[in-house]
């Protein structure tokens, strides 16, 4: 399999989207988030979304905006 074939594969697109998800959220996706991740992977594969747009989608998602950062919680516990 050549590089272009790999790049166009659904597995590569899913890996790409999931790596961005992991980086932005500092965690792996939870089971309920997998369909959304598959959607982003499909959009990426179809070249309907750029890397910039993908990251923007991730950081403006309800899950990202309502997350509780473990580092914040750890710091908060130390202050109490």
Residues 6+ apart with CB under 8 A from 60: none
pTM of the model: 0.74
The CA distance from 4 to 75, in Å, is 46
Residue 1 has pLDDT above 90, yes or no: no
Q: Which residue has the higher pLDDT, 10 or 18?
A: 18
- Average pLDDT value for residue range 6-32: 88
Domain span including residue 29: 3-79
pLDDT 10s digits, 22-75: 999 888 999 999 999 999 999 988 888 888 999 999 999 888 888 776 665 555
Domain count for the chain:
1
């Amino acid at each position: 399999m050549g590089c272009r074939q790999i790049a166009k594969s659904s597995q590569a697109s899913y890996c790409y989207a999931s790596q961005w998800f992991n980086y932005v959220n500092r965690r792996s996706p939870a089971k309920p988030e997998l369909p959304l991740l598959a959607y982003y992977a499909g959009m990426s594969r179809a070249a309907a979304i750029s890397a910039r747009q993908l990251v923007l989608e991730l950081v403006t998602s309800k899950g990202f905006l309502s997350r509780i950062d473990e580092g914040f919680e750890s710091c908060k516990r130390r202050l109490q």
